[in-house]
Structure 1
Amino acid sequence: MPPVFRFAPSPNGYLHLGHAYSALLNVRRAQESGGRFLLRIEDIDPTRCRPDYEQAITEDLAWLGITWELPVRRQSEHLAEYGAALARLQAMGLVYPSFESRAEIARLVAQRDADGGWPRDPDGAPLYPGAAKAVPAARRGELMSSGAPYALRLDMDAAVARAGRLDWDEAGCGPDGEAGTIEARPAAWGDVILARKDTPTSYHLSVVVDDALQGVTEVVRGQDLFHATSVHRLLQVLLGLPAPAYRHHQLIRDDEGHKLSKSTLATGLRTLRAEGVSPAEIRHRIGLV
């Protein structure tokens, strides 16, 4: 079977040079290995994802000379599959609801910081500080039935105990040059959110389900997702899903050394295209000539 690669952007903004690098690198590796290249639209967030952004994604990729297999997988069309995976984890007793608002969580973190500091995950966000695991099952049911907002979290301690030691083979490198066999450390992320009342899946859950169902064998993505691989390996083992090979690549950065991001309004490919920049010049700028 030929290797399968994928590029999986979210339609919550316009593609920039960093996306171009990742997409073109996946295409190059697929071509070199006689593999397949898939486009996946990660649109599980209805508040930020928009059809016009998805259209812009396909236009920009086509302008770069990229083609992909059809049909394109859109996560919003596969919520039942993520729900089935979540139900399996729930049946293992590895999922619990938490009911604190974001403001309440911020206050808890501030209190714990004042008491000597509170741990952060590899992305710098504070770990979940609440005590929802101690809420009796009957009370949890009452709160959920009442319509109260909630997040469904992975009981990380129980999940790690069930899965045992985990690792992955890194063909690229992490932010600090990590390569080779990498020991997964999912506990560094705390009790991650797997779904919310109004969003029935999360990035962590949907990405491992998608990769398995699409037969993805090679995950080529940015170093900003290197540490998240620990959570993905944990979920793959818990759900009995195959593990693809991982290759994390360098990030394209601005003149101040910051990674390009939609949230910081990095110059989009569509803007560069409108300014007369050619696809060949894009490849030159990102070092993929």
Structure 2
Amino acid sequence: MSAQAPIIIKKKKAGGGDGHHGGAWKVAYADFVTAMMAFFLLMWLLNATTEKQRKGLADYFSPSIPLSRVSGGGNGAFSGDSMFTEEIKPQNGTGATDQNPMNARQAQGETGLVDESEQAAQEEIFRVIEEELRGRGGESMIATDLARHIVTRVTDEGLIIELFETEDAALFEDGSADPTPLFRDLVRMVARVSGAVANDIAIGGHTRSQPLVVAKNPVWELSHARADAARKLLESGSVKSSRIRRVTGHADRNLAVENPMQLRNNRVEIILLRK
């Protein structure tokens, strides 16, 4: 009997293609797509923005240039300006108000260009007029007494000279537009002081609210009539009629004090407009 040959069993592993390569390609692909998106976004921005907006974007992203305080690159609410409104908004005419006048106080237009010497001269003129109306410019004792009925403030529109009533001294006869001697003296003083400048003038009349609700509220007609009475007194006090730009009645819509029926709300504003 011949010897039996040993039986050899070979196990063959079935092939599975090229095998698993991992997820590194996904990261590379994502980086590629992100780069392409950034590229096309850049191309769109270059085509859709102005030179001023591109300068704002460049200033913002450049690590070697400090953040520009005068350009933000946008065209939304700030129109390319930054949030530093105390420096920018008074220059484009959208910041200052008569309640909260800013340092610049003058609307310079969208270009922001301003003759600084002319602006300084205008501010100095307003300061001198304010001092005279407050009895600090060599005025008489009568003028000093009148000064307690005067409040002045400088805004982006100009110098506002507010003439107001007190409990013991009225500017007009009760319920009418007939000026009292006090109001005549006040307007005469304003006419004399404003005669030294050539600024145009705007006049606004304000009244207190009526204590009773009536079918025909007279506050509109009354406030305008009082403003027009101030115009006539100014013109009779040597102010040229060509300087009067507008005469407006505000009724009781813009109160000086919280109580709408306070006599303090009876007032006339004479505004020396900026040139």
Normalising by the residue count of structure 2, what TM-score does the alignment of the two structures yield?
0.26
Q: Who wins on radius of gyration, i.e. which is larger?
A: 2
Using structure 1 for the length normalisation, give the TM-score.
Answer: 0.25
